Amino acid sequence: MNDAKTIKIIGPAYPYRGGLANYNERLAREFIAQGHQLSIETFSLQYPNLLFPGKSQYVDGPPPDDLQIRRTVNSINPVNWILVGSRIKNEAPDILMIRYWLPFMAPALGTIARIVASNGHTRVICLADNIIPHEKRPGDRLLTHYFMKSIDGMVAMSQSVLDDIDQFNKALPRALCPHPLYDNFGPKTEPEEAKSLLGLEPDTSYLLFFGFIREYKGLDLLLEAFADPRLKKLPVKLIVAGEFYTKPEPYLELIRRLKLTDRVVLRTDFIPEKYVTRYFGACDLVVQPYKSATQSGVTQIGYHFEKPMLVTNVGGLPEIIPDQRIGYVTDPTPASIADALVNFYQKERKKEFEANIKLEKQKFSWGNMVKAFLKVDQLIQK
């Protein structure tokens, strides 16, 4: 293609695990499929172990054989930032795409971006998960301001993040594109098979809370909702599948206090990619009771597996889940969540929602995300 670009992505990728790495690798493949030249620069050190809340930062298994991934960026070494930035500056890609999700990364990413852009050729475009973080810390705004001054444009995945840009740079070229589907987890697993593989009861229905467990994700709200007497009468259990990124004791104590021990299935280790289809296959409804949010990759996994979803009315989540069409948008309260769960089972809405998801999911393509980046690139060059 005549308008092919050379693109460099800086962000998590193999051997790092989690949604950010999966996303960056999937986006890279889409750019390459459309004829662009692309490579990824990931971290030689992403988080110091002292700051990492989980058990491991790394995946098992070999690297992807279809992507060029280099481990080069040390998040806490300023000499490294200068060396990496100078090398990429000399390589002079057309676009440097930087993934931004945490103010902690602002010094490294902002410094590299400034050095690269000084070549007068490379346009620096940010893909922003959050500008204002969910879990606020002193200095966040100052750090984000430093990073925002280093970029030429931004792609946001929710209107709330797009609006946050104005707090730092009202003139910044930008585009909005919803989080694409995570379609890298393989085909659906039928409920009977999924329950068997996971050792679950075949005649029980299951709700699913999926992903890293952090305070803002509202698992406590869901547990309180699940203790509702109306739900206790139903043959329904809750699967909590994902690693604790916060202290587990308050949640375990809440389960005991609410007498939910026999109704909650805890699978609180990291869920390898190959097992994701089992957890989504086993459930009737994916529940995201977040207290704050911008967008969520879990919803896009739910779309891929065509599962009804419940989200709370925070951040960009209501933009992605049409209320009463493919699931529910509730208040972030136990009572509101419980009312929706009761409605789902009593009104038998599973098949209705699943049929609507098949239509709604078509708008969340990776091709649209590539178009958003190229649109911002054109705006920068005007």
Tell me: do 105 and 211 sit in the same domain: no
The pLDDT confidence band at residue 1, using thresholds 50, 70 and 90, is very low
- 285 and 375 share a domain? no
More confident residue, 59 or 5: 5
Give the Cα separation of 128 and 316 in Å (integer): 13
- The domain total for the chain is 2
Asked whether residue 40 is assigned to any structural domain, the reply reads yes
Name, in order, each residue with C-beta under 8 angstroms of 254's C-beta and a sequence gap of 6 or more: 220, 223, 224
Residue 68 domain flag: yes
Q: Judge if 232 and 104 occupy the same domain.
A: no
Residues 220 and 112 in one domain: no
Q: Is residue 186 part of a domain?
A: no
Q: Is residue 14 part of a domain?
A: yes
Q: How confident is the model at residue 259 (pLDDT cuts 50, 70, 90)?
A: very high
Taking residues 92-102, report their average pLDDT.
97
Q: Which two tokens stand for residue 51?
A: 């700051």
Q: Is the pLDDT of residue 205 over 80?
A: yes
Clarify whether residues 33 and 108 are in a common domain.
Answer: yes
User: What is the pLDDT averaged over residues 227-238?
Assistant: 96
Residue that has been written with the tokens 């999926």 in this structure: 210
Q: What is the pLDDT of residues 74-84, one digit of tens each?
A: 999 999 999 99
**Sorting pLDDT into bands at 50, 70 and 90, what band is 132?**
confident
Helix (H) or strand (E) holding 342: helix 334-346
Domain that holds residue 308: 191-362
Is 337 among the domain residues?
yes
Verify that 206 and 152 share a domain, yes or no. no
Report pLDDT digits (tens) over 6-27: 999 999 999 998 889 999 999 9
261 and 370 part of one domain: no
Residue 185 lies in a domain: no
Model confidence over 160-202: pLDDT tens digits?
899 999 999 999 999 999 999 988 889 999 999 999 999 999 9
Residues 36 and 20 in one domain: yes
Residue 286 has pLDDT above 60, yes or no: yes
> Residue 63 carries which DSSP code?
P
Decide if pLDDT at 300 tops 70.
yes
Picking from 329, 32, 298, 307, the residue whose alpha carbon sits closest to that of residue 190 is: 307
**In the prediction, which pLDDT does 292 show?**
86
Residue 137: CB atoms within 10 A of its CB come to 10
Report the candidate in 124, 136, 137, 128 with the shortest Cα–Cα distance to residue 166. Answer: 128
Instruction: Calculate the alpha carbon distances from 363 to 122, 235, 350, 369 in Å.
Output: 30, 35, 21, 11
**Token digits of residue 376:** 């911002």
Averaged pLDDT for residues 278-292: 96
The enclosing domain of 328 has a CATH number of 3.40.50.2000
Question: Average per-residue pLDDT in the chain?
Answer: 94
* Two structure tokens written together for 305: 């597996």
Among the listed ranges 27-41, 183-197, 242-256, 289-303, which one has the minimum average pLDDT value? 289-303
Residue 168: its pLDDT value, please?
95
In a domain, 304, yes or no: yes
Whether 173 contacts 379, CB under 8 Å: yes
My answer on whether 333 and 374 are in the same domain is no
pLDDT for the residue numbered 54: 62
Same domain, 55 and 149: yes
The answer to whether residues 332 and 318 touch, using CB atoms and an 8 Å cutoff, is no
Q: Distance between CA 304 and CA 119 in Å, rounded?
A: 41
pTM of the entire predicted model: 0.80
Are residues 289 and 316 both part of a single domain? Answer: yes
Residue-level pLDDT at 55: 64
Considering only 123-137, 235-249, 262-276, which range has the smallest mean pLDDT?
123-137
| CATH code for position 138 | 3.40.50.11930
Q: Which residue has the higher pLDDT, 232 or 135?
A: 232
Does the pLDDT value for residue 218 go beyond 50? Answer: yes
Residue 49 has pLDDT above 80, yes or no: no
Examine the domain organization and report whether 113 and 203 are in the same domain.
no
Is residue 119 domain-resident? yes
